Structures are given as structure tokens and as C-alpha cells.
Amino acid sequence: MEPVLWALKTDKVKAALKEEKRLDDRALDAYRDIEVSNEVSKNAEGSARVRLGKTDVIAGVKMILGTPYPDSPGEGTISVGAELHPMAFSEYEFGPPKPDAIEVSRVVDRCIRESKTLNFKDLCIKEGEQIWICFIDLYPLNDDGNLFDAFSIAGLAALIDTKIPKIEDDKIVKGEYSGKLKLARQPLLSTFAKIGNTVVLDPTMVEQKAQDARFSVATTDDNYLCAFQKGGFGGFTGAEIDSCIDIATKASKMVRKKL
Amino acid sequence: MEPVLWALKTDKVKAALKEEKRLDDRALDAYRDIEVSNEVSKNAEGSARVRLGKTDVIAGVKMILGTPYPDSPGEGTISVGAELHPMAFSEYEFGPPKPDAIEVSRVVDRCIRESKTLNFKDLCIKEGEQIWICFIDLYPLNDDGNLFDAFSIAGLAALIDTKIPKIEDDKIVKGEYSGKLKLARQPLLSTFAKIGNTVVLDPTMVEQKAQDARFSVATTDDNYLCAFQKGGFGGFTGAEIDSCIDIATKASKMVRKKL
Amino acid sequence: MEPVLWALKTDKVKAALKEEKRLDDRALDAYRDIEVSNEVSKNAEGSARVRLGKTDVIAGVKMILGTPYPDSPGEGTISVGAELHPMAFSEYEFGPPKPDAIEVSRVVDRCIRESKTLNFKDLCIKEGEQIWICFIDLYPLNDDGNLFDAFSIAGLAALIDTKIPKIEDDKIVKGEYSGKLKLARQPLLSTFAKIGNTVVLDPTMVEQKAQDARFSVATTDDNYLCAFQKGGFGGFTGAEIDSCIDIATKASKMVRKKL
Amino acid sequence: MAKKDEKIDYVKNGKRVDGRKVEELRPLTIEVGVIDNADGSAYLEWGQNKVIVAVYGPRELLPKHKQDPRKAIVNFQYRMATFSVPDRKNPRPARREIEISKVCSEALQRAVFAERFPNTVIDVFVQILDSNAGSRAAGLSAASVALADAGIPMRDLVASTGVGKAGGEIILDLNKFEEDAPDAVDIPIAIMPRTEEIVLLQMDGLLTTKEWKKCLELGVKGCKQVYEVQRAALQKKYDAAGAVKGKEKKKEEKAAKKEKVK
Amino acid sequence: MAKKDEKIDYVKNGKRVDGRKVEELRPLTIEVGVIDNADGSAYLEWGQNKVIVAVYGPRELLPKHKQDPRKAIVNFQYRMATFSVPDRKNPRPARREIEISKVCSEALQRAVFAERFPNTVIDVFVQILDSNAGSRAAGLSAASVALADAGIPMRDLVASTGVGKAGGEIILDLNKFEEDAPDAVDIPIAIMPRTEEIVLLQMDGLLTTKEWKKCLELGVKGCKQVYEVQRAALQKKYDAAGAVKGKEKKKEEKAAKKEKVK
Amino acid sequence: MAKKDEKIDYVKNGKRVDGRKVEELRPLTIEVGVIDNADGSAYLEWGQNKVIVAVYGPRELLPKHKQDPRKAIVNFQYRMATFSVPDRKNPRPARREIEISKVCSEALQRAVFAERFPNTVIDVFVQILDSNAGSRAAGLSAASVALADAGIPMRDLVASTGVGKAGGEIILDLNKFEEDAPDAVDIPIAIMPRTEEIVLLQMDGLLTTKEWKKCLELGVKGCKQVYEVQRAALQKKYDAAGAVKGKEKKKEEKAAKKEKVK
């Protein structure tokens, strides 16, 4: 879409928000409809497809054998990657990961890693020698805004779906599994767009284009905050941050029911 | 050369072909003159230089020690690489391999690999631990068309020339050899250009520029077909493919006499 | 700075040199003021900051465990890298190392390596298994000309400052050291710019812009020559080279006093 | 793997190891119009293979020096998701993916009336979500449906399948198990079904000329089965050709308008 | 490392392991105008962290298609010297460095009157020479001083610090030892002190909402301490606001002139 | 390798290990005009070294912002075939190849009347097919012959050789065995023989000033021997200077014409 057309559309978003209205008639603190399904790929140890309104993403988990880092010989690890595939939006391009893709994958990574959702000691097979590396890869199929939350939901759903391959003689036995991956908690991101002086949950693409700043907060099912990420050119007041935290805590409970 | 000049030249090619004539007076199913020599490089385990008309290429083989893939512990392997060096033609550039270079190297690779010319078990030195990787690298010196066949001939000639380094204490003894590389058969590509409704063997550069589609067929000295590759924007009829196979079978027999 | 402004400035340089004068009133064979300090980084095993007039650079040494090359199982090694960081000069850019950065780092590398300043056998911890790799990384903070010599001085100063980490159970003990790195001699580069028919030591940026050719000579404190590098588009006579060698031998003695 | 040494009957009593007949495709379904942002799109399942395709364009090709003033360039980009294969695939495009993208671009170029959209690119993004032998035929077959969905005027759809040999038997649409036979030969083929013109053909393995003739015949048959599924999928979305034609017309008008502006 | 299993008192008798109070920053000094070629620059030491920053611009952004006709783009580039960390860092920019560069660029963009310099870029090169927790706050705090030194007109300085939790205690400006606590939570925060507007905020670890409120309060206090050091450093170099204003004016005149030329 | 510990006589009774005298080059042959598509080309064998060089240009340098309105840029690109060394070389250009390309480009730039062809590039592609010490001197010597073959007007040919020390002896044109001496010093040098101006000079190893003076003298002698071979090769192809001049003239006319068009 041309910049000029985006400008017309974002003007509409801003005009509506002055009356606390969104173009799709959602409440300011409401998510779009969410659908979660698994079975995206049999070759994956776990996978999920998430539709968040018209935003559509997939996540897949591969459990790969590796050797531990010297400074944590008894721990496996995770790796989160996101590719902003040009299939999903006309402004994306192939090539080495750009800052946008790096940011979202690192935020989803921290949301899972630092919430201690996975016990990295469980991912150690043989201390100092063999561990699991849990690769979580994220792709958009259609981006209509808020990839942060869509990726976060899909990543968690894929982890919930993940089976651990069976091992014999230090090698993976293809197609056989020794059980499910254990998750200690369920962290989820909730992302807000600040447009003028209004803050809305789960922005669409046009709301994203209209936004001055972005704020994401990750909450867990046991009521912890586990990640923040502020982005965009504008700033937030402390009160706005607190309000985002409140809304995120409630909204993520609704999302978790879909998993 | 300017696009305009190419257009003038390709028009000539097409006009001549309407009368079943080629600009260099060859028969439609004839190769240009072929010269094969070895001794391109003493540092190579095997090497060859092939002149196909004005097309001039070199191939070199390096036998390198490696470790086997986990799923084929008793097998060595090959690797074919081609670089479209700007020395050979004004349209080539340095940089990461482009699709053209990748395609031709992969076709030559399959032609050798899938014809089982090399017994990969022969390339295993110690099961699960040490193997030979046979690197075949291809460079054009002057490209006047049909690098596919020139590379294929040079690659095979270099393999025929290849000596296996002597090993002591798991290391290569520089300059000493334990024998020649064994080849089970001799696969060779024959490449055709379809220009309008005429199909010609061994296209020159200007014929390549005039072509609508390309078809390569690899045949062996024991009368197998071992690889096909269709390229270019146009299509072939089944009858045309069959005719190419017939011509390739005969023509490659002539080429093999030069080796 | 615009090319036009550089042209004006380089004209001044050339005009002054016709009367054997430099814009900063230095003698043709004199260095600018040199200041050397250490303690740039506690995380480095050795570091140094060197100011050569307004040129300002840092060097840091990291001692890293590695495995030896098969053909020198009893020897450690060094690796010199230089990044022409855009912080230092408006014409530099981030990205893969360009020929300029590669040249200067390789010349500093050879100056240290080939002068046998470090005994690579001292850097072997366990023959065939574990060695020290001594990484010397060079960054400009402000480039006002003659990075070659500034980097050379900083690299040597950082090596003089370098402590060898303590090893237990084949691993580095963070923050503890087993002694200082031993240096057999002190090699230093001296770089000359030929502008018209005049040759000057330690060119400033504007002198570099005015230069026809560049010549660097490395001398040691025990009176060896250990590296040459001619650069730039022009040429030198044998007599000019000899004169450079004489000046370098004297000038580097002065520089060594600062270390 | 151990199986390689035993004698396997790849066809026994007319049935293959997975129960299929010699001339039978694995189950194949295509859904049209699945990506909202794209100009055309399709989702395809073929055995275990799962493929999604988005088409964007014709749109101006940038940088300009890559433009062809005589035609649109079809840019088919085949990529595998990291988790679509048994071992995780490195996210960077492999040489295999680059070669497949090239030959499939060329195959589709033949089918599209590219000369109507000079200086443009038609991007065809093909993402393999899951795979089990035959993903390039799956991607190419889905892509031509997505092109039609985008209203790109075409000479014909491109229908593709695998065909080949396993255990001495000439069979259609090999699955991974069959492709791993010691004597396996795999032949991806694509045709424009109306004229049977071959627009993609690759082969590797050891094959006699006689075997090839059987493969060709069987491959063409297979492509025609794929064609039926493609047409049914398009039919299902659009009330016959009407809607397609409408979209096609729109594109051409758009192109015409652009030319006037210049 | 072994210490992780013992019980450590991260705050004992009001003192932290390095002797600091809960609300105390590590020693912080800033020097202005240290890089001759740059339009503005600053050198900062903060505990073991050593950072140098150079600002170039506003200057024309190339290639042109990246220009924004409505504003200057602030391009903050955070890089660590290979020897600034315990294990040697690969010289290529890591994903961490790219993310930090992005969020800090956005934080500074808010502070700068970017709309006065359309089509330009303001490059802010941040080199970490030595590090020990908190290098991004150090880089960002130094960068806004360097921007002021370059005479770039700004709404306010951006002041940044770390704040967080270790051993259950909410503390300001965590050092590496505290950051390695088993329950550590690290929160880089940056504000424009006059309005307390938050322009950078990241967090990871497990925190209750109540803990967060304490962190926010403490973080804002910390930023204001940083602000004092920033202002003192600028004051020291320039005879109060006079010199800065002069430079600012010059930039604007330069910009105005450029516009006329067009 | 074991030999390093024994005492080797690198010169014994006036003869070196390979039978050469101290001032003797390895066998050197040059053939002109070997690449049909190129504007100029040469093939050189020098001991075990085998080098092929193609020259394209002067041709317009793209992208335009790299053009120099005052002169042609000589772009010497030195690359080694993967199989030209004992261990296979990675196909990506190594740092060594990039440095050699830079210093040789600069050496040739001096020899060419580059100012006659503004905004253009003269590409000199140098491919090492086999190597055994001295490949850069081989490449550079072949390149200036190829430039002459392309009709590029030159001040003089550039003649290059190695010279240096092994086992305490100053010798010309070291081979690999000599280069591996424990005290080896290798000095690639290139001159324009008519004026003896030094256009390429590198050195590493430990050398006294006195030894250097001997090396310089010997190196210049060696370059002049190379020069004779270069001239003979050109002579052989062209009926003396006539043909060269003709081509030169053509180039200049072409350049003049281009200028008029502008």
C-alpha cells in the first residue's frame, strides 16, 4: 500500500480514537478473535497456528541434540527465531534478519526464558556432554498487526504441543517420543499501541501505523510480570504503564483459555 | 556487449535456423571441437582443461579428509562447486553464487552422484570416523556457451585423472599417493537449446541468448540416463525430449573418446 | 568533509611542502606528540590507548583457549583485527571489513608475527591439544591520519600490558593470572607519505589525502627491519626507500621511550 | 535404513507400501484465497506435504535496473520452514531451495502472459510447512492456483507431480519411503495440461530409455489428475470463470492506466 | 558460580555487596567533547563500564530512498569492543547489539526536535570499551550528552539507569554480581527527566506488580541522579546554556540555508 | 618439516637446492591473448605457478557513485582456484587475496595513463591455477602484459618478482621450500623497469639494512629479467609496437567519441 493511503487510514484511526472508538468497534482493552490450532507440521516436535483477527502466524518447535555451554554444563537451552516472511505483508523482504525481526524474536525469547517456563536442567541429557536445544521458529502468514502477541501465543501453544524425541545410543530415534515437554508456567505477551494520548490493546496494522509508541508486557498464569518492552518513538507515563499492566493481566487470562 | 547488439545477433541465429542452418555451419546435433588436457594444477589431486569450441573451462579435484554424516557412517561424499568467474564473460560478477552458478554445479553434482560413478563406500577410510570428501571445483576461463557440458566433461576428466593421497597416522602425506580414484561409469551431460521450434545440441553463447528453453540429459557409457534438467522460459514436447535423449546417447559416445 | 574542501586543503599542503614546510610546522621526519596509556578495559588481558596528535586509537588483547593447527601442534598463534569504526571519521562505515581495514590489520599482524616478537611455542599449553590464541583488536576513536603507526604503537603497548590468564582443569580462571606475556623484541611501524617529490613521516589526514604514495617500514629495538608495505598509486625510488629506513630507525627509538 | 538391505516389494498385488495403486496420487486438497494481504493465495495438502503460497503483483520491480521492459518477471521463491523436515533446517536459503526457485520461476513464466505487464515483478512466495517427498511439485501446483486467484492472465495452469522408480517399479508420486529405495529415481515434472507442454523436468538416478518412456506417460497422467484438483479448487471459490475474468480485466486496466500515465 | 547455591545477603545492614546503599549509583563521570572529528561526543565511566560516543549530523541520509521528508532519523549504533567482555566478543554485531541499537534509537528520537532536519540522519555511534552490567544505560546517557554537545535541539536530555531485584531486594543500578543473582530482574529504564516520560523500558525475570511499582519509583530517582551528572558535564564544557544555544542556532541556520538552496 | 631442525645449505657451490643460481629465476613463459571474450589476456607459467589473466575495459564503472571523474580505476582482482594450493582453499576470497588485490591495483594504477579514461574501470581478473611461492609477482607480471594486450596506454610495463633470504643467503625468486626456511624473508617487489620506480614492495621477516640493500639490487635485476620475457611475449604476438599502438589509438578514439557524446 502507498504511504499516502496509509496516511488517510491512520487519520481515520486517530479521529475515531478521539471519541474512544476503534475502526473495528473493539473496546480499547479487547483482543481480536483468537483461534489456535496444532498439527501444522508432523516433522515438528510441536507446532501451532494462531489467528488473531486477520493476523495469522505459525510456530514450530524442533528439539535438537547439542553440547552444553562450558559455563552451564548441566543445562539445555532454547533459541527463538522469527522471520518476517514477505508472504505476510507487502513491506517485508527476504534477507538477513532486520532489527524488527530480531526485536520480536528476542522479546518472545526472554518472555519464555526469563519466566523460567522451561527448567533448563530438564533439558540436560548428560552433564557436560549432551543437551536438548529447543528451537522455536516463528513465521507470519498474514500480518494485520501485533505480531508480538500472535508470536507469543503461537510459541507457547507450540511448546505445550511439544513431544521429546526418544534417544538411543546418543541418537534421536525418528518418529518416537519419550514424553511431553514440561512447562512450569504459561507466559504471554500483551502489546499496546499509544496513539495520541490513547492506549489500545492488540493493535491492527493500521493502528500500528498510527501509533506513537508501543509497549508490551508479559504476564504469567501465576501472576508474575516476566517481560517488558517499550518500542516506537514516543514515551509512556508511569500511570499508562501501570494501566497496561492491569489490562494485560486480565486479558492474558482470557487468551490462556484458548490454549 | 550491449543488449541491442545481442538482439541483432540472435535475430541472425533465428533466421538461419529457419533453414536449419547454424551460424557456425554445424549440424543441429553436432558438438563443437573438443580438446581435453590434464595437468592444470599439480596441487590438485586431479585436474582438466576442456575447450569446447571457444568455450574454455577448468576443473580441479581436491581429496580432503572429513568426518562422515551421522546417518551414513560408512560413506565418503563429493561436493561440486562452480564459480561464474568474471574473467570468462562480461556479464559475470564476483560475489556469492547466483542461481545460474548454483544450478549448473548442482546438475553436474547429481550427474556424478546419482549415476553412482563413485562408490561412496570406497571413500570411507574408517567407519564413523574418517572419510574422503572429493571436492570438484569448476571455473570458466572463456564462456562461449554451454558451460553445462564443458563443466561436465571437465569434471569427469578431472576425476579420471585423480590420485588418492597416501595416509599415515590419520593424516595426508603431501605429494604421495596410494592409487587412482575408481570410477564405475562415465556420465556426461548433453545440453540442447530450443530456439523457436528447432532444437540444437551444444549451443554457443549467441544461440543461448536466442534460446526459448534449455534441456540437458546425462547419459552413461553403459547406456543409462542419469540426469535431466529443463531450464529457460519455454517448454518442450515429449517428442522433443525423446529426440534429445537419442542425440545425447550418440553424441556423448563421441565425447567419451576424447577422455 | 566535501571533496572540494579536501582539494583546497591538500593544495595548501602541497604549496607548503614546496618550501619544505608542513601545515603544523613539524619537521619532515618528526612524529606528532605521542601519549600512551593503559587500563582501557579491565575485561581485556591487556589494553592501550594511543594519541598521535589528534589521532586517537585503542587496542585490546584477549587471550583465548584454542586448538592448534594440525601442521604446528606445538604452537599458539595471534590474530590481529582492525575495524575502521565510523565514530572516528566521517568517511568510514559499518559493514564487512573493507580492503583498507584488512590491509592495516595484516601489516600490523606481520610486523608482530614475522619479527618473532612472540615465541609461538610459549603459547602452546598442551601439544596438539590446547594453545593460546592472542587476539589483538584495534579501533580508531578519532582518525587524523596515520592509523598504521597509531595501531602499531597501541598494539605493542597492549601486548606489553598483557597478563596470561590462570588455567585450571583446562579452563580459564576468570580474573586470575599466571604472569605476563613475554616479548622477545619491540617492533614498530613508521609510515611515510610521498607528496609530490617530498617524503614526510607520520602524515596527518590532510597530508594523507594529498599523498601520491605511502610507505611503511617496521623496525625493531635490536635494529632489524621486520616489515615493509608500499601503498598508494605512486612509486618510490630506491633512494627514497633507503632514506625512509634511516628515518624510521631513528624515529621509532623515540617512540619506544613512550612505552 | 536397515530395510535397504532386505528385499522390499514396492508394489505387491498391485498395491504400494502405503496402500496406493501404481497410478494413484496421495490425497490432495487445495484451498484458494487464504492470505488476506496477498493478491492471490492458496493452501495445499498433499500426503504429509503442507504448502502455503502468496502472490503479490504484478508490481513495479525495484531496483529499476532489474526491470525487463518487455515483460513481467515471475519470481517464485521456495522456502522450507525450519521445522518442515526431520532435522531442523537452517533458516538461510539452501542451494537446493535456490535451484528449485529458479526452475519453478521458469516453469511459471511460460504459463503467464508476462508480456502484458512490462517492468513488473510477480512475486510468488511458497512456504513449505511440512514435507514428505514431492514438496516442489506441491509448491508449483499450488502456485499456479494462487496466480489464477490473483487474476494474472495465464495460458494454462501449471500442474506438477513426481513420478519415478522404486524397487524396479515405475510409480506415480513417490513418498519419502519410496524415494529412499536403493534404486530410486525421482522425476519432478510439470506440464501445461491443455497442450501437454513440459515446463519443468528434472531427474536423477539410473534409468533406461524404456523406463523413461513409461515415466513420462505416467507423469503426464498424474499432472492431469492434479489439474482436476486445481480447477475444482478455483471453481469452488469463484462462480466459474466469471469472477476470474473480472479480476483479470481489472489487472489489465490497471496496467493500461499505468502506461498512459507514463 | 558456586555462590549461587549459598544464601547471599544482597543487602545487609543497608549496604550492598560492593558497599553501596540501595538507592546509590556506582561512581559516574562524564566528559564532553572528546572526539575531534565528531560534531558532538562524550566519554563516560560508570563503575567498570567505559563508553565513548560520537555524534555526526544532522547530515544527508543516503541512499535517498531511506530519507524521511518529515524528520531526521536518529541512528543510535551500540557496539561492544571485542575485549570489553570477559570472553572475546565476535566483531560482527550480535543480535543483542542490534536490538539495543533499535530501542535506544527510538528513545532518543523522542528527545530530539527531529522534524527540524528533514531528510537527514543523526548518527550516534556508541562504543563500549569495558563493561560490567548496565552498558546500555551508560551508552544512552552518554549519547544524549553527545547530542547536546553537537548542538542538536532537544526537548530534554534522556537519562537512563538500571534498576531491579536481587536476593529479593529492590536495588538501583545492579552490577554484574547482582545481575547474576538466581532471582535477578534487570530493568533498563530511560526517562526525559523534566516530564518523567518513559522513553525506554525493558524487563525480564519474575516480578510482582508491587515490586514493579517500587522499581519504577527507584528507577526514576536514579535517572534523575544521572541527569545531574549529565548537566554538570555539559555545564563544565559550556559556559552555561550560551554556547549550546549558539551551536543550536548555527545548525538551524544551516538547515534553513539548505532549504533555501532547494 | 623435520628438515627445519637440520642445517640446510640453501646455496652450496653456487647452486640452490633446485639447481638454480642465486640470481636465477625459475623457468618463466608468457603467452598473450588467450581469452577470447576479454579485451586483453595473458597466460603465465613460472616454476610451478600457473596464472591466467583477463582484462576488461576501460568500461563504465557502475554504480555511478564509485566513478572518478578524473581517471579510470584499475581493479586488479587476485583469486586462487580452490585446487591451486596443497590444502583446498575456501572459495570465498580470503583476507590475503583482498590485500594482494589492493596493493597490485595500486601498483598498476601508476603504470596506466588512467586519466585518459575518466569514470571508467579497467578490470584485471587474475586467477591462480597452480602455485608454489611467488604467485602475486606472477599475477602482477602477467597482468601488465594483459593490459598491454588490451591496448591500454601505459607509462611502462610493471615487472615483478620475489627476492629475499633463506639460510642466510640473499637469493632471487624464492620457491616454496626456500620460503619455508626458518630465517626466511620474502620480499615481493615490482618496478617500472625504465625508471626503476618501485610500485610494489612488501616484506616480512627479520632483515638487516645491509641485507635489504642486497635484496633491492637483486630484486631490480630480477624484475628486469621478467621484463625481457614480458616484452618478448608481446613482441611475439604483435608485429612490434605497431599493432599495440593501433589498439591504443582505437581506445583513445573511443574515449574521445564518448566525451563528445556527452
User: Quick check: do C and E touch, 3+ CB pairs under 8 A?
Assistant: yes
- How many degrees, rounded to 5, is the angle at CA B161 between CA B159 and CA B163? 90
Give Cα C84 to chain centroid, integer Å. Answer: 13
Cβ-defined contact of C56 to E35 (cutoff 8 Å):
yes
- What are the CA-CA distances from residue E54 to residues B211, C35, C87, E102 (Å)? 56, 21, 6, 17
Q: Has residue E255 been placed in a domain?
A: yes
Closest Cα of chain A to E203: distance in Å? 5
Instruction: Sort out which chain F residues have CB atoms less than 8 A from C223's CB and list them.
Output: 208-209
Check CB contact under 8 Å for B228 and D96: no
* % of chain C surpassing 70 pLDDT: 100
Partners of D36 on chain A (C-beta within 8 Å) are: 54, 56, 142, 144
Neighbouring CB atoms inside 10 A of E59's CB total 14
Q: Which among F210, F41, F18, F4 has a CA at the least distance from the CA of F133?
A: F18
Between CA D23 and CA F186 the distance in angstroms is 70
Kindly indicate the confidence band of residue B71, based on its pLDDT and cuts at 50, 70 and 90: confident
Chain E nearest CA to A232, separation (Å)? 6
C83 → closest Cβ in E48, E56, E91: E91
In the block, residue with C-alpha cell 601488465:
F144
C47 at interface of E, judged by CB pairs closer than 8 A: yes
Closest CA to D140 of D72, D56, D44, D217: D44
Residues 7-36 of A with CB under 8 A from E: none
Half-sphere exposure of F114 (CA within 13 A, CB side): 24
For B115, B185, D166, E128, the CA distances from D183, given in Å and listed in that order, are 10, 16, 6, 59
pLDDT bracket for residue F238 (50, 70, 90): confident
- pLDDT tens for chain C, 259 residues long, are 677 899 999 999 999 999 999 999 999 999 999 999 999 999 999 999 999 999 999 999 999 999 999 889 999 999 999 999 999 999 999 999 999 999 999 999 999 999 999 999 999 999 999 999 999 999 999 999 999 999 999 999 999 999 999 999 999 998 899 999 999 999 999 999 999 999 999 999 999 999 999 999 999 999 999 999 999 999 999 999 999 999 999 999 999 999 9
C171-180 vs C163-168, strand pairing mode? antiparallel
Q: How far is D61 from chain A (nearest CA, A)?
A: 13
Q: Terminal CA-to-CA distance of chain C, rounded, Å?
A: 34
Chains C and D touch (3+ CB pairs under 8 A): no
Beta bridge partners of D147: none
Q: Which chains contact E through at least 3 pairs of Cβ atoms less than 8 Å apart?
A: A, C
Instruction: Let me know if residue F162 belongs to a domain.
Output: yes
pLDDT tens digits along F84-122: 999 999 999 999 999 999 999 999 999 999 999 999 999
Cell numbers placing E195: 516530564
Question: What is the rounded average pLDDT for all residues in chain A?
Answer: 97
Is F127's CB within 8 Å of B44's CB? no
By C-alpha distance, the chain B residue nearest F79 is: B85
CA distance F210 to chain C (A): 10
Q: Does C168 touch chain F (CB under 8 A)?
A: no
Task: State the chains in contact with B (3 or more Cβ–Cβ pairs under 8 Å).
Answer: D, F
- Regarding chains B and E, contact by 3 or more CB pairs under 8 A is answered as no
- Structural domain including F214 reads 11-261
Smallest Cβ distance to C233: which of F109, F202, F203?
F109
Q: Which among B225, B244, B250 is the top mutation candidate for probing chain D, defined by the most D β-carbons within 10 Å of its own β-carbon?
A: B225
DSSP, res C236: B
Number of C-beta neighbours around residue D18 at 10 A: 11
What Rg do the C-alpha atoms of chain E give, in angstroms? 19
Residues of D with CB under 8 A from a CB of A: 34-38, 48, 50, 52-54, 56, 59, 77, 79, 81-88, 91, 93, 123, 125, 127, 129-132
Task: Identify the sign of the CA torsion D195, D198, D200, D205.
Answer: positive
For chain B, give percent helix, strand, coil, nearest 5.
Answer: 25, 35, 40
In contact, D219 and D134? CB cutoff 8 Å? no
CB atoms C99 and F102 under 8 Å: yes
**Which residues are within 8 A (CB) of F2 and not within 5 positions of it... i.e. 6 or more apart?**
none
DSSP secondary structure, A46-96, as one string: EEEEEEETTEEEEEEEEEEEE---TT-TT--EEEEEE---TTS-TT---SS
Question: In the structure grid, which three cell numbers stand for residue B227, read together?
Answer: 540426469
Chains that touch A (3 or more CB pairs under 8 A): D, E
Q: Do F102 and C231 touch (CB under 8 A)?
A: yes
Between CA A61 and CA A38 the distance in angstroms is: 12
How many CB atoms within 10 Å of residue F251?
19
The answer to whether residue F115 sits within a structural domain is yes
At E261 the pLDDT is 40
Contact: A43, D93; criterion CB under 8 Å: no
Q: Where are the beta strands (DSSP E) in D8-166?
A: 11-12, 15-16, 28-32, 40-46, 49-60, 73-80, 120-130, 159-166
Question: Rounded to an integer, what distance in angstroms lies between the CA atom of residue E211 and that of residue E188?
Answer: 15
User: Do A200 and A28 form a contact (C-beta atoms < 8 A)?
Assistant: yes
Residue at F5 is within a domain: no
Give the best residue of E49, E61, E77, E83 to mutate against chain C (max C CB count within 10 A). E83
CB pairs under 8 A between A and D: 89
Whole-angstrom Cα Rg for chain F = 19
Q: How many domains does chain F have?
A: 1
CA distance C148 to C109: 11
Nearest-angstrom CA–CA distance, F240 and F29: 18
Q: What residue type is assigned to position A193 of the chain?
A: A
User: What integer pLDDT is reported at residue E242 of this predicted model?
Assistant: 55
State the DSSP code for C23. T
Amino acid at D171: I
Q: What's the pLDDT at A3?
A: 79
Q: How far apart are CA B181 and CA B164, in angstroms?
A: 6
Of A106, A111, A224, the CB nearest to E207: A224
Cell numbers linked to F204: 616480512
The number of residues in chain B equals 259
Q: Which chains touch D (3 or more CB pairs under 8 A)?
A: A, B
**What is the model's pTM?**
0.94
- On whether any CB of chain D is under 8 Å from the CB of B173, the answer is no
Touch of C by F (3+ CB pairs closer than 8 Å):
yes
What's the start-to-end Cα distance of chain B, in Å?
A: 34
* Banded pLDDT at E259 (limits 50, 70, 90): very low
Q: In this complex, is the C-beta atom of A37 within 8 Å of any C-beta atom belonging to chain D?
A: no
Per CB-CB distance under 8 Å, the chain E contacts of A71 are 1
> CATH class for domain B13-256?
alpha beta
Average pLDDT, chain D: 92
Report CB contact under 8 Å: C40, E38: no
The CA distance from C237 to the nearest CA of chain E, in Å, is 35
Residue F5 scores a pLDDT above 80: no
Would you list the DSSP string of E3-51? Answer: GGTS---SEETTEETTS--TT-PPPEEEEE---TTSSEEEEEEETTEEE
Residue D86: its chain A contacts at CB < 8 A? 43, 174
B to F CB pairs, distance under 8 Å: 89
Closest Cβ–Cβ partner in D77, D125, D129 for A41: D129
For residue range A128-141, list pLDDT tens digits in order: 999 999 999 999 99
Q: What is the pLDDT of residues E99-137, one digit of tens each?
A: 999 999 999 999 999 999 999 999 999 999 999 999 999
Cβ–Cβ < 8 Å for C151, C141: no
- Do residues B68 and B171 touch, judged by C-beta distance below 8 A? no
Q: How far is B115 from chain D (nearest CA, A)?
A: 6
Residues of D with CB below 8 A from B71's CB?
Answer: 1
- pLDDT band at A70, cuts 50/70/90? confident
A190 in reach of chain E (CB within 8 A): no
- Report chain F residues whose CB lies below 8 A from the CB of B48: none
Q: List chains adjacent to chain C, taking adjacency as at least 3 C-beta pairs closer than 8 Å.
A: E, F
Beta-carbon contacts of F199 under 8 Å, excluding residues fewer than 6 positions away, are C230, C234, C235, F106, F107, F108, F110, F111, F158, F190, F191, F192
Residue C113 near residue C124 (C-beta atoms within 8 A): no
Q: Where are the beta strands (DSSP E) in E81-150?
A: 120-130
**Is C216 in CB contact (< 8 Å) with chain F?**
no
pLDDT-based confidence at A2, cuts 50/70/90?
A: confident
C-beta of residue A205 within 8 angstroms of C-beta of residue A236: no
Q: Which of D100, D75, D239, A72 is nearest to E1 (CA)?
A: A72
What DSSP line would sit under B233-248, residue for residue?
A: SS-B-HHHHHHHHHHH
Q: How far apart are CA F18 and CA C137, in angstroms?
A: 41
Distance, in Å, from the CA atom of B101 to the CA atom of B218, rounded to the nearest integer, reads 18
**Residues in chain E within 8 Å Cβ distance of C83:** 91
Do residues C89 and C145 touch, judged by C-beta distance below 8 A?
no
Specify the range with the lowest mean pLDDT, choosing from D1-15, D37-51, E129-143. D1-15
Q: What is the CATH number of the domain that holds E62?
A: 3.30.230.70
Query: Between C116, C215, C245, which is nearest F209 by CB?
Result: C245
F5 vs F94: which has the higher pLDDT: F94
- Give CA separation, E65 vs D111, E62, E68, E119, in Å: 34, 8, 8, 10
Q: Which of C2, C37, C141, C171 to mutate to test the interface with E (most CBs of E within 10 A)?
A: C141
Select the residue of A224, A227, A229 nearest E208 (Cβ to Cβ): A224
* Residue whose C-alpha is closest to residue A31's, from A156, A153, A201, A149: A201
